[in-house]
Amino acid sequence: KSESTLSMTVVGASGDLAKKKIFPALFALFYEDCLPEHFIVFGYARSKMTDEELRNMISKTLTCRIDKRENCGDKMEEFLQRCFYHSGQYGSEENFSELDKRLKEKEGGRIPKRLFYLSIPPNIFVDVVRCASRCASSADGWTRVIVEKPFGRDTESSAELTRCLKQYLTEDQIFRIDHYLGKELVENLSVLRFSNLVFEPLWSRNYIRNVQLIFSEDFGIEGRGGYFDHYGIIRDIMQNHLLQILALFAMEPPVSLDAEDIRNEKVKVLRSMRPLKIDDIVVGQYKGHSKGGKFYPAYIDDPTVPKDSITPTFAAAALFIDNARWDGVPFLMKAGKALHTTRAEIRVQFRHVPGNLYKRNFGTDLDKATNELVIRVQPNEAIYLKINNKVPGLGMRLDRSDLNLLYKARYPREIPDAYERLLLDAIEGERRLFIRSDELDAAWGIFTPLLKELEEKKISPELYPYGSRGPVGAHYLAAKHNVRWGDLS
Ligand code: BG6
């Protein structure tokens, strides 16, 4: 019998993230028997609500998605019985002391292991952390806090946030989430590279011509302008999600799979990257567009966005890593809202085959003959390698075909949501997929000078129609570095 009670307090329990991601992920873990015997959930927020009302609210977003086992309904009921609610102000030590009392009641005298998930705006992170650490932390077990971006808006504000959090918590207690690190194909990057002989030897400037990190969504901002307009796509997606993928992709082999060894390598590669310059970036913003009889409104038409906003909803950037492995290889990033499709992928374009015997089969365009490795993070997860192959028959026609690992076909079981992986890791104290403060600082170092320049010079974004492939400028940027976007060819 276990001697401890694990509690998860979701601060900001009635918010969107909590409802859509956190509670469902906790239920999935519970359903899969990944949580300890003594496990409870507390919702904490300002609104008044009873335990029963919280349960009702949560139950609407829980699904039995895993594999429709018959006892799912029972499991759900069992899970809900472990959920409680406490109403309080975010900066009130008194309210957190009351929470502490209720936690103690439910912990039944066992050693408390307390996890707090801050699903709240960043301007109240520090208040909550102060109250939780002073009044509701565990005396003889552990206390951990999960925070999610935005971690500041630039190097200085991020460092200030770190400094404030560290008044109350040690670095070991802070779990900074980047939910892209919990995605199956991002986690698999290291397996792909380091456990396959055929990839790692090619993983350098000797064979790789360019790498592309692409994120697109086919919907606009839809009421999230209050947050988004203050940050923009570069801070929302590039500085964190895409840069994290890049760091895992490009880092040197770590000494071991230990969290500190991996994070040391990520910091090193991030610190080898040149800070972005204004010539290395194209910014865009979507404008209204009619399609199929429906009108899709512009970014600035969203009621939560100021009419004169020049916040980018699209950006393309060329980044470089100044080290021996990657010298001169462009890493192109592209991220945008309200584009023609929803997708996240990594594209690796290899060099031309020297003295290609089949050159004439490709006409004048040898780019068409290069190998390309595509790692599709979502949707429809896949890894495929474009190779040249002879079309069967008497002639000699070549064809580019795919060696295709389609996850749906190979692994029929549904892939867990990124939050399931990350919450489980935080519970188990596994820090590999969380961002260390020096990593965060290095990541901001790459983007901060550029973000300041964009804002000081009030650079106007290039407008692109809602549902299109984004601004033409992105092609020019790629062409300048002798690259073609793989997702458009
Ligand atoms: C979030 C961004 O971090 O990631 C959102 O703030 C974005 O703007 C979201 O929509 C995308 O996440 P996912 O997992 O749906 O690809």
pLDDT at res. 365? 78
Protein residue with its CA nearest to atom 6 in ligand 1: 236
Protein residue with its CA nearest to atom 2 in ligand 1: 236
Protein residue with its CA nearest to atom 15 in ligand 1: 217
Separation of alpha carbons 291 and 46, rounded Å:
42
Of these residues, 241, 340, 352, 475, which one is catalytic?
241
Question: Does residue 422 surpass a pLDDT of 70?
Answer: yes
pLDDT at res. 70? 66
ipTM above 0.95, yes or no: yes
**CA 32, 344, 178, 257 torsion-angle sign:** positive
Question: Does residue 90 surpass a pLDDT of 90?
Answer: yes
Alpha-helical runs (H) found in 33-135: 51-59, 72-80, 93-107, 125-135
Instruction: Note the pTM of the prediction, 2 decimals.
Output: 0.96
Atom number, ligand 1, closest to the C-alpha of residue 240:
3
Question: Does residue 137 surpass a pLDDT of 50?
Answer: yes
Atom number, ligand 1, closest to the C-alpha of residue 344:
16
Strand runs labelled E in 252-323: 281-287, 289-291, 294-296, 314-319
Protein residue with its CA nearest to atom 4 in ligand 1: 237
Q: Largest Cα–Cα distance of the chain, in whole Å?
A: 83
Per cent of the chain over pLDDT 70 is: 98
pLDDT at res. 13? 95
| Residue 108: strand pairing partners | none
Report residue 40: phi and psi, to 5°: -135, 160
pLDDT at res. 3? 92
* Most informative mutation of 241, 244, 313, 435 for ligand 1 (most atoms within 8 A of CB): 241
pLDDT at res. 355? 86
With a CB cutoff of 8 Å and minimum separation 6, the contacts of 302 are: 220, 221, 222, 223, 225
Which of 137-141, 212-216, 382-386, 461-465 is the least confident region? 137-141
Atom number, ligand 1, closest to the C-alpha of residue 227:
6
C-alpha 247 to ligand 1 mean position (Å): 19
pLDDT at res. 76? 92
Mean per-residue pLDDT, 402-420: 94
Protein residue with its CA nearest to atom 10 in ligand 1: 217
Atom number, ligand 1, closest to the C-alpha of residue 342:
16
Terminus-to-terminus CA distance in the chain, angstroms?
Answer: 59
Q: Using a 6 Å CB cutoff, which residues line ligand 1?
A: 179, 217, 236, 344
C-alpha 237 to ligand 1 mean position (Å): 7
* Known catalytic membership, residue 289: no
Q: What is the mean pLDDT of the chain?
A: 95
With a CB cutoff of 8 Å and minimum separation 6, the contacts of 386 are: 371, 372, 373, 374, 400, 401, 402
pLDDT at res. 161? 95
pLDDT tens by residue, 317-355: 999 999 999 999 999 999 999 999 999 999 999 999 988
Token pair, residue 33, equals: 């028997």
Closest CA to 353 of 396, 397, 404, 388: 388
C-alpha 275 to ligand 1 mean position (Å): 24
pLDDT band at 268 (very low <50, low <70, confident <90, very high): very high
pLDDT band at 2 (very low <50, low <70, confident <90, very high): low
pLDDT tens by residue, 356-368: 888 888 877 778 8
Protein residue with its CA nearest to atom 5 in ligand 1: 236
pLDDT at res. 1? 44
pLDDT at res. 489? 65
pLDDT tens by residue, 432-475: 999 999 999 999 999 999 999 999 999 999 999 999 999 999 99
C-alpha 234 to ligand 1 mean position (Å): 12
C-alpha 215 to ligand 1 mean position (Å): 10
Atom number, ligand 1, closest to the C-alpha of residue 183:
14
C-alpha 68 to ligand 1 mean position (Å): 27
Separation of alpha carbons 46 and 169, rounded Å:
24
